[in-house]
Amino acid sequence: MNNKLITMQEAVSKYTWEGMTFAHGGALPVGSDCIAFFREMVRQGVKGINCISNCNTQGTNLLAAAGGIARMEVGFSGLEVYGFANGLKRAVESGQTILEDYSNGGIPIRVMGGALGWPFVPTFINYGCDQAWCSADEPDIYPNPNKIREVTDPFTGKKMGAFKSITPDVAVIHVTMADEQGNGIMLGTEWSRFELSRAAKKVVLQADYIVDTDCMRQFPNLVRIPDLVVEAVVYWPMGVWPACSTGCYDSDEEHFFAMNKMLKTEEGTQEYIEKYVKSYSNHQEFREVIGKDKITKLSDTATAFLMDPYRKWIKSDAEVQELMGGR
Amino acid sequence: MDYSKNEMMAIATGREFQDGELAIFGVGLSMLAGFFAQKNHAPNLIAFTEGGVYGSTPVGGLPWGIEDNRISANATSFTNAVDALCMLVAAGKVDNAVIGAAQIDKFGNVNTTGIWEPGTQPWKVGKYTLPKVRLNGSGGANEIAVGAKKYLIMAAHEKKRFAEKVDYVSSPGYLNGGNDREKYGFPGGGPAAIITNLGILRPDPVTREFILDAYFSFSSVEEILENTGWELKVSPRVKMVPEPTEKELENLRAVDETGSLRKK
């Protein structure tokens, strides 16, 4: 039995460093992502991250606002119905963050290529358009022939594009539930978390619930991330807040807007960090910052029934703490 | 009858969907247009999201995101982006779709990535300088533009949005017109219509330039020409789009629970 549970502080200090290629998921603006992990990155002052993102989320929005993202490859840089991502937008417009644009299918396909060990992936998406012709890494060349290279189908002789595959140094992946060994179950869309878990050199899970391994044995088809690809597991309830975790809690409309408004300015960002990043030191205190009433309201989600089959295996805070040797 | 311009735009968009089609919608207005069609006249319209949420309809109001809990509460399958966005959309299996646009040009190319000062666009200066305003990027619209058998573009009709040439092609339409799109071998057929809050534009089958096909009861050919940033050609058969029926409005408003389209 290999117990991989570690604290959030340990995870960030061990698995993030300047200049690394960091991937995160689900990376849905309003859905699953390891937002709590990003908060801890900001608290520890992580800088110079090369970020691989399906989409921007409130995690990347915050880290970019705090000056932590040097470069980002992304399919969608907004917050869907919540609007433009003010922190990221500010970092890109000021030149602090280099943003290399792809599309929402482009990043997952490139990660899949990395997972399969392919150096490139043939593509029609992001081909014949400015995602190909504009490269933030080589801004002096337009149209750029290097970002999406042209290849010839060896069977038909027809031209198409080629994506460079991605193998991130680390992927931090939000899962709904994990066991202590690193088996993970995701509820809702996976986005590219399955591919990410196979492409990254190291994988860390951030889980809303820790469950007994018997849960995995009951639903092995749903364990799309098996323990053998996972190095560490962090237990962090409400860890996607203010976005939503399917089956657990809805997105917090009020905080989503307030957060994005604060990230619009440097002063607002500092205020946000004081109030919602530096104000707690563990997940119990984090939940106090969100507030009991707010958590009750957000947990009253129309998707709550999706968790019903798993509830009997959920470990309490005390049981998880015991598994972690009291930490 | 009392209805808003955005309601007319959503109904005109919804009318473009046929029963039995496999469809994908973006978040916001385009989702309302699609689910309106399903409720109104296309009960067997099959819709899914780009991250692979299948078989669901929104509950509790307009979803904040395309895969948030409001559209995940009654799904029959959850998969992933390589499946839904790549294997279904990009690979050419989707019949019809809707995308939005911050800027759009006469060949149906869509920009959702950035706005540059006139004369400083990458295609103009041969350099990729930073845009004056950074927008949200392509999202899943590029896959739709490349792979859907046909798709619709929804946009507010304003001169600054309707440009001779977009600053940045996030989602390719007919590129430089004529057969330019064919050069890239995309599986999908390209944009079938641009539907705005003033009327409907459709592409000329040969030049692929979008021309004015229809106006609404509250708009006119003149108003549309004034609000288009290129010299818009008018179809000799230009006509008025039939006004919403009572049933259509009722069905749209049932889908648009929060009344987001009713604001004038």
* Confidence at residue B58, expressed as pLDDT on a 0 to 100 scale: 87
- Indicate the residue among A164, A188, A218 that finishes a domain: A164
Q: Are residues A209 and A234 in the same domain?
A: yes
Q: Are residues A290 and A314 in the same domain?
A: yes
Distance from CA of B127 to the nearest CA of A (A): 5
In-domain check, residue A112: no
Q: Are residues A75 and A206 in the same domain?
A: yes
A58 CB near a chain B CB, below 8 Å? no
For residue range B130-141, list pLDDT tens digits in order. 999 999 999 999
For residue range B218-245, list pLDDT tens digits in order. 999 999 999 999 999 999 999 999 999 9
Q: Are residues A137 and A227 in the same domain?
A: no
Distance from CA of A1 to the nearest CA of B (A): 30
A28 contacts on B by Cβ (under 8 Å): 51, 65, 67-68
In-domain check, residue A107: no
Distance from CA of A32 to the nearest CA of B (A): 9
Q: Are residues A136 and A58 in the same domain?
A: no
Q: Please name the member of A80, A95, A243 whose beta carbon is closest to the beta carbon of B66.
A: A80
For residue A42, the domain's CATH number is: 3.40.1080.10
Count of A-B CB contacts under 8 Å = 229
Q: Are residues A235 and A315 in the same domain?
A: yes
Q: Where does residue A280 rank: exposed (0-12), middle (13-18), buried (19+ CB within 10 A)?
A: middle
Buried b (16+ CB within 10 A) or exposed e, B123-158: beeeebbbbeebbbbbbbbbbbbbbbbbbbbbbbbe
In this structure, what token pair is assigned to residue B247?
Answer: 């049933």
In-domain check, residue A152: yes
CB-based contact B86 A125, cutoff 8 Å:
yes
User: pLDDT at residue B70 above 70?
Assistant: yes
CA torsion through residues B109, B111, B116, B122, sign = negative
Nearest to B101 by CA among B93, B112, B92: B112
Q: Please name the member of A76, A192, A256 whose beta carbon is closest to the beta carbon of B138.
A: A76
Distances (CA, A) of B147 to A96, A262, B171, B194: 34, 38, 11, 17
CB-based contact B64 A81, cutoff 8 Å:
yes
In-domain check, residue A1: no
Pairing of strands B133-134, B114-115: antiparallel
User: pLDDT at residue B83 above 70?
Assistant: yes
CB-based contact B142 A103, cutoff 8 Å:
yes
Contacts of A162 (CB under 8 A, 6+ apart): A120, A121, A122, A123, A148, A149, A150, A151
Q: Are residues A54 and A182 in the same domain?
A: yes
Of chain A, the percentage scoring pLDDT greater than 90 comes to 98
Q: Which helix (H) or strand (E) holds B183?
A: none
Q: Are residues A125 and A269 in the same domain?
A: no
Q: Are residues A38 and A143 in the same domain?
A: no
- Indicate the residue among A145, A164, A183 that finishes a domain: A164
- Average pLDDT of chain A is 97
In-domain check, residue A308: yes
In-domain check, residue A84: yes
Domains defined along chain B, listed by start: 5-255 (3.40.1080.10)
Residues A30-38: what's their mean pLDDT? 96
For residue range A65-122, list pLDDT tens digits in order. 999 999 999 999 999 989 999 999 999 999 999 999 999 999 999 999 999 999 999 9
Nearest to A196 by CA among A169, A219, A227: A169
Q: Are residues A79 and A197 in the same domain?
A: yes
Residues A238-258: what's their mean pLDDT? 97
- Give CA A93 to chain center in angstroms: 23
* Confidence at residue B264, expressed as pLDDT on a 0 to 100 scale: 61
A99 contacts on B by Cβ (under 8 Å): 134
In-domain check, residue A115: no
Q: What angle do CA B145, B151, A164 make, to 5 degrees?
A: 15
For residue range B5-57, list pLDDT tens digits in order. 999 999 999 999 999 999 998 888 888 999 999 999 999 999 999 999 999 98
- Average pLDDT of chain B is 95
Q: Are residues A182 and A294 in the same domain?
A: yes
* Confidence at residue A1, expressed as pLDDT on a 0 to 100 scale: 65
Pairing of strands A149-152, B162-163: unpaired
* Confidence at residue B61, expressed as pLDDT on a 0 to 100 scale: 82
Distances (CA, A) of A48 to A13, A43, A59: 14, 15, 15
CB-based contact B139 A75, cutoff 8 Å:
yes
Tokens 């005109």 — which residue? B12
Q: Are residues A174 and A243 in the same domain?
A: yes
Distances (CA, A) of A23 to A59, A133, A196, A295, B206: 12, 24, 8, 28, 45
Residues A310-326: what's their mean pLDDT? 96
A78 contacts on B by Cβ (under 8 Å): 135-137, 139
CB-based contact A81 B142, cutoff 8 Å:
no
Please, which residues 181-200 of chain B have a Cβ atom closer than 8 Å to chain A?
181, 183-187
B72 CB near a chain A CB, below 8 Å? yes
Give the total number of structural domains in chain A: 2
B73 CB near a chain A CB, below 8 Å? yes
Pairing of strands B53-54, B77-78: antiparallel
Note down the domain range covering A140: 120-164
Residues A124-146: what's their mean pLDDT? 97
B127 contacts on A by Cβ (under 8 Å): 139-142
In this structure, what token pair is assigned to residue A85?
Answer: 């991502």
A9 CB near a chain B CB, below 8 Å? no
CB-based contact B85 A104, cutoff 8 Å:
yes
* Confidence at residue A47, expressed as pLDDT on a 0 to 100 scale: 98
For residue range A56-75, list pLDDT tens digits in order. 999 999 999 999 999 999 99
| Residues of B known to be catalytic | 50
ipTM (interface pTM): 0.96
A300 CB near a chain B CB, below 8 Å? no
CB-based contact A251 B128, cutoff 8 Å:
no
In-domain check, residue A3: no
A194 contacts on B by Cβ (under 8 Å): 80, 82
